[in-house]
């Protein structure tokens, strides 16, 4: 399959196909026509001699500085080499591929003024997997992701470093190895390529897709815990939830009912009137996070299809308009919300883990291990979950409420959206492990089920867990178990297998 850009909006699943599965990308004829029209408009304005921001003037607070015609190309090159000043750990290839795709989507709208040959190089690098090395730190999230996007464009002009064929090398060498030539940027092109929100959107988009899967995993883990502690099912009765009709809450309650259907463990202790909140309010907590994640996904899909550089070119009216579409506030707020929503899935999961290991249920030994005392069992996996949940509390502090002025106070309000997206992605990574720990502990606790039948969905979850790790009969080195189980449960195959057993989770 090939993703053709320019005729319709893209969604997050298409971003995943290009970023992770390396689906190739092409441009539609209508996209090429729009790009050509916008470029002709740029050329016309240059010929007229009128001042155009970032084309015949400097950038930011230097917008009042006129650029001579013979210096226009140098202006664009200087923009890239001066702005490629990021530092810190490198962003993943998947994030960079997503950002390159999103940059192309923005450019094919025909409001950026880039030349076709420059856009073609960006697409060719994506298709041949020539990936510029991009540091993760340096963006304040307004005027776009200037520093990290500049590192991508640095590769396009044959400078900096790229990864190709599994090796890191000079960008010029990587382009040559892929059969490509660097481009010489001309008027407006450097600005069109670096003025945008594509880095923060790429990070947040990949994290949001994982978060959506995490919402299903949280329901699966919670249902397994409910069975392991022999909890009650009445808190998931549909009649409760249609009287508080938040969509996510209704979905989570429905999922848990499906997962525990036919269970002989749930409701097996009639004298227990109510379960603790971490069990009883799973639909309310998981559901609120579901709704938040869905909001984030809708916001990111709008941003993914937006034109976010400056100024914008309008060929129909021959206008060039300066504005602020590069400001990352929509993505910053969504990323903060994503981090908070996912952190809560981890927080309630840790509380359920604690209930299984603390010895408060008569049928479960301390730390769900035979011979507690001699064995520590799953004591320290709970510590791991607690540590990750605590770490998330700091990461979830909203970055979008911060702003530090830059560019000599011309850019006096910044979104910090890229930091918010990076923190949200780390929270997702942490909570994937927390939920994997819960599923691991629940599976171990179900070893003490006295042979009672599990629910349709939880039985399949238990089977898939045991394919990855064996039951704990005594203490052993647990890190390999944790790695194996995390890999297993965060795969699409785990949720798909459980979903198939119950007739599809919502």
Active site residues: 53
Q: Residues 203, 94: contact at Cβ < 8 Å?
A: no
Query: SS3 letters for 368-433?
Result: HCCCECCECCCHHHHHHHHHHHHHHHHHCCCCCCCCCCECCCCECCCCCHHHHHHHHHHHHHHHHH
Q: What is the 3-state secondary structure (H, E, C) of 307-364?
A: CCCCCEEECCCCEEECCCCCCCHHHHHHHHHHHHHHHHHHHHHHHHHHHHHCCCCCCC
Count of other CB atoms within 10 angstroms of residue 275: 19
Instruction: Answer yes or no: are the C-beta atoms of 404 and 189 closer than 8 Å.
Output: no
CB 114 within 8 A of CB 307: no
Residue 418's Cβ-count burial label (10 Å; 0-12, 13-18, 19+) is: buried
Q: What span, in angstroms and rounded, lies between the C-alpha atoms of 349 and 434?
A: 7
C-alpha torsion sign, points 235, 239, 240, 241 = positive
CA 146 to chain centroid: 20
Both tokens of 281, joined, read 């309010």
Instruction: Please tell me the distance from the alpha carbon of residue 23 to that of residue 126, in angstroms, as a whole number.
Output: 9
Please, are residues 108 and 122 in contact by the beta-carbon 8 Å criterion? no
Pairing type for strands 3-5 and 25-27 reads parallel
Identify the residue whose tokens are 């010489």.
184
CA 234 to chain centre: 35
Query: How far is residue 228's CA from residue 226's CA, in Å, rounded to a whole number?
Result: 6
CA-to-CA dists, residue 427 to 69, 151, 222, angstroms: 49, 26, 19
């Amino acid at each position: 399959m090939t993703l053709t850009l320019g005729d319709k909006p893209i969604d997050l699943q298409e971003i995943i196909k290009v970023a992770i599965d390396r689906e190739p990308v092409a441009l539609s004829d209508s996209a090429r026509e729009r790009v050509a029209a916008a470029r002709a408009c740029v050329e016309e304005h240059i010929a007229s001699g009128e001042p155009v921001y970032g084309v015949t003037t400097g950038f930011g607070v230097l917008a009042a500085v006129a650029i001579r015609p013979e210096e226009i190309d140098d202006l664009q090159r200087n923009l890239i080499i001066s702005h490629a000043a990021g530092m810190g750990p490198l962003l993943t290839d998947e994030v960079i591929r997503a950002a390159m795709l999103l940059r192309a989507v923005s450019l094919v709208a025909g409001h950026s003024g880039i030349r076709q040959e420059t856009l073609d190089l960006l697409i060719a690098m994506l298709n041949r997997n020539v990936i510029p090395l991009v540091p993760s730190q340096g963006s304040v999230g307004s005027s776009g992701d200037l520093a990290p996007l500049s590192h991508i464009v640095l590769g396009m002009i044959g400078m900096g470093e790229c990864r190709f064929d599994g090796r890191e090398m000079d960008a010029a060498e990587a382009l040559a190895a892929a059969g490509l030539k660097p481009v010489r940027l001309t008027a407006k092109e450097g600005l069109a390529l670096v003025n945008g929100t594509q880095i923060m959107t790429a990070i947040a988009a990949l994290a949001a897709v994982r978060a959506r899967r995490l919402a299903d995993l949280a329901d699966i883990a919670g249902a397994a815990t409910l069975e392991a502690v022999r909890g009650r099912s009445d808190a998931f009765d549909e009649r409760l939830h249609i009287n508080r009709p938040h969509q996510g809450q209704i979905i989570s309650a429905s999922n848990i009912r499906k997962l525990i259907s036919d269970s002989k463990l749930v409701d097996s202790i009639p004298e227990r009137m109510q379960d603790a909140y971490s069990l009883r309010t799973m639909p309310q907590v998981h559901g609120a996070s579901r709704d938040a994640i869905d909001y984030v996904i809708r916001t990111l899909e709008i941003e993914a299809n937006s034109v976010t550089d400056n100024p914008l070119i309008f060929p129909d009216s021959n206008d060039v308009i300066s504005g602020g579409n590069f400001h990352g506030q929509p993505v910053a707020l969504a990323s903060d919300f994503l981090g908070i929503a996912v952190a809560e899935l981890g927080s309630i999961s840790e509380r359920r883990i604690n209930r299984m290991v603390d010895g408060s249920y008569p049928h479960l030994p301390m730390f769900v291990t035979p011979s507690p005392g001699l064995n520590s069992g799953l004591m320290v996996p709970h510590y791991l979950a607690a540590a990750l949940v605590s770490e998330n509390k700091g990461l979830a502090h909203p970055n979008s409420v911060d702003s530090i002025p830059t560019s000599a106070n011309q850019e006096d309000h910044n979104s910090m959206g890229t930091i918010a997206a990076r923190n949200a992605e780390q929270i997702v990574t942490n909570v994937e492990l927390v939920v994997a720990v819960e599923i691991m502990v629940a599976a171990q606790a179900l070893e003490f089920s006295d042979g009672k039948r599990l629910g349709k969905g939880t039985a399949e979850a238990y089977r898939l867990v045991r394919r990855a790790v064996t039951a704990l009969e005594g203490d052993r080195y647990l890190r390999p178990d944790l790695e194996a189980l995390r890999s297993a449960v965060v795969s699409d195959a785990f949720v798909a297998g459980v979903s198939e057993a119950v007739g599809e989770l919502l």
